[in-house]
Chains A and B, each alone.
Chain A
Amino acid sequence: MPFETFEHTADIGLEATGADLETLMRDVAQGFFAIVRGDSPVAEKESRRIDLASKSFERLVVDLLDELIYLTDADGLVFKEMRDLTVETKKTDDGPSYTLACTVVGETFDRKKHAGAMHVKAVTRHELSAEPPRDGREGKVRVILDI
């Protein structure tokens, strides 16, 4: 299971796993897309480019979700897929830093077509854990979203 959601009283949790950085980050994004669109179908009509530079893996996860929430709200979009994803790491004195580039595709939110959609307000840090894949071990992200 690349991602699954879990219960939290007033919010919703997302857990994703992946054997490499790209897979894990794509799973996080796909989990987010699934939470937002619910059971509504989404076509591929609009795309947005995302470029991130983050000082840690945990921050990369937050930055990606923050950016997806921003694009969803500011541009009124629902997403379906993440494409052309690259994630790179660089060693620094404070540990590895990360860059991520991708394109996300979807369409303009339509009240009727996307009746099952859900509004995600923000990414919380409550019980946040983000472990990148390391030494052949799967990476894992667990995050609670404010809805």
Chain B
Amino acid sequence: MAWDGPLEQVAKNIWEIPQDYTGQKGDLKMRVPGRIIADAALMETIREDNAPEQVANVAALPGIVGHSWAMPDIHWGYGFPIGGVAAMDAEEGVISPGGVGFDINCGVRLIRTDLKREDLRGKEKALVEELFKEVPCGLGSKARVRLTDRELEGPLTEGARWAVDQGYGWDADTEVMEEYGRIEGADTDKVSDKARKRGAPQVGSLGSGNHFLEIQKVGEILDTDIAKRFGFTEKDQLAIMVHTGSRGFGHQVCSDYLKTFEDNLDRHGIHLPDKQLACGPARSQESIDYLGAMHAAINFAFANRQMITHWTRNAFSKVLGRDAEEMGMRLVYDVAHNIVKRETHMVDGKKRDLYVHRKGATRAFGPGREEVPETYRDIGQPTIIPGSMGTGSYLLVGTERSMQTAFGSTCHGAGRKMSRSMAKKTWRGEALIKDLGKEDITVKADSPATAAEEAPGAYKDVMNVVHAAEEAGISNKVVLLRPVAVIKG
């Protein structure tokens, strides 16, 4: 369904949906204008689905501050658009589980190495097989470690730090993660038995769908000084990208609390343009409980990515016969792109305490923010943008301008433009894997169908997305990474 509502360009690559737009049904009451970051070409694609209407719907939520934002990779989601950013006043605003999504703290981490592409020549297949063995992935994948219900408290409350304490990784890893790999305030009493039961066997598993583990090489260094600080100095240097989240645990937490929020809407007198936007006042009991459970899911995902990092290092060591330390397999950063966090931002010259919902959007804080790890604080936060399978991915850095634009946020990926079933009808998995092989990219997928669903043609071009974000000033390109080998769940 194409969107034909009003859009006005207000700055380079920034388009506004005016506050007086009343929506497709004519009864929408936007509290703030909507704003979409895109260039003219991307905007044409964005108008092809109904995502801008979702930007307008989010603008109607109580307590929203500034603008309802959409990043250049925006696409039609459920409730919130994928690629949406909405900041709510911490006192007068609302918390919405739909503004986070089902896969809480779905995110990406990047590991750099001292290795070069040639160091892997002839060993790609062996490494991919080893990774497939080490990292549980695919539909129904269960972790190698079976945690008891009691042991699950560790990842839920301590996140990546729990994993490191258990021997999965290095102490230095947690120094370069969003929230240092552990968010305060996890309340496991607010987590259902069902979430625990789904989560316990899945800590340390990649999952399926668009989640992946990819070996990449530096294709181009776009900012030499900052790239050096992030650990990249030359073309063809190898890196590893991990994209996964809180698995069934997060899905269950979100499903559980959607019902609680729905059941209390009338009591709070909240009327919504879309049921998936269910929300409650930030100070309501359901919001407090949801935040407690959601923080446990955030920690779950940090622990999950940490364990996968450990097994990835093991696989490299085994196949290349060298220590991970010796190969310089250091973590660059770990970012979340489905999350709500309490943050302070300047709005109209005033400091405001806000709950920033990022659904398919990445935090991209500029230099000086105390949330950025000390080692990067003078240059800004690293932001990791995975591209579609077999294309390219980016390492970006947050900017000062980003802080004044979309609450310190940027895009999160290429952005899907074709449904999975259509992709399966359009491409054949086996042929696609063969074609990528001709481009020197090794792909191992849990099933050929998974590969077809994630065909590069089903996504927007990540380069256009990242370029549009840079032109709008919300993030700068640092390194372009090209795929060498892909593990698809």
Contacts and interface: CB of A to CB of B under 8 A. Distances in A.
* A and B co-occur in one complex: yes
Interface string B448-469: 1100000000000000000000
B209 A147 contact: yes
Contacts, number: 104
A109 B419 CA distance: 24
B251 A117 contact: no
Interface stretch (B60-68, B77-85, B301-309, B480-488): B77-85
A122 B251 contact: yes
A144 B78 contact: yes
A97 to B, nearest CB: 13
Contacts of B447: 111, 115-116
A70 B195 CA distance: 9
Contact of A119 (B98, B139, B262, B278): B139
Given A11-B78, A124-B78, A125-B275, 12 more contacts: A5-B421, A9-B75, A9-B77, A9-B419, A69-B255, A74-B197, A76-B140, A122-B254, A122-B255, A125-B79, A125-B276, A126-B79
A45 to B, nearest CB: 15
Contacts of A119: 139-140, 207-209
A10 interface: yes
A12 B420 contact: yes
Contacts of B103: 121
A41 interface: no
Contact of B421 (A7, A70, A74, A126): A7
B259 interface: yes
A128 B275 contact: yes
Interface in A63-107: 66, 69-70, 73-74, 76
Interface string B40-69: 000000000100000000000000000000
A124 to B, nearest CB: 4
A74 B78 CA distance: 24
Contact of A111 (B75, B140, B258): B140
A128 to B, nearest CB: 6
20 contacts: A12-B420, A59-B259, A69-B251, A74-B198, A74-B248, A76-B142, A111-B446, A114-B139, A115-B449, A118-B139, A118-B420, A119-B207, A121-B102, A122-B254, A123-B255, A125-B78, A125-B79, A126-B79, A126-B275, A127-B274
B194 interface: yes
A7 B254 contact: no
A122 B254 CA distance: 9
A147 B420 contact: yes
A122 B78 CA distance: 11
Given A73-B198, A119-B139, A9 B49 contact: yes
A124 B98 CA distance: 9
A12 B194 contact: no
A111 B449 CA distance: 12
Contacts of A122: 102, 251, 254-255
Nearest to A38: B449
A8 interface: yes
Nearest to A78: B140
A10 B278 contact: no
Contacts of B420: 10, 12, 118, 147
Contact of A10 (B139, B140, B142, B419): B419
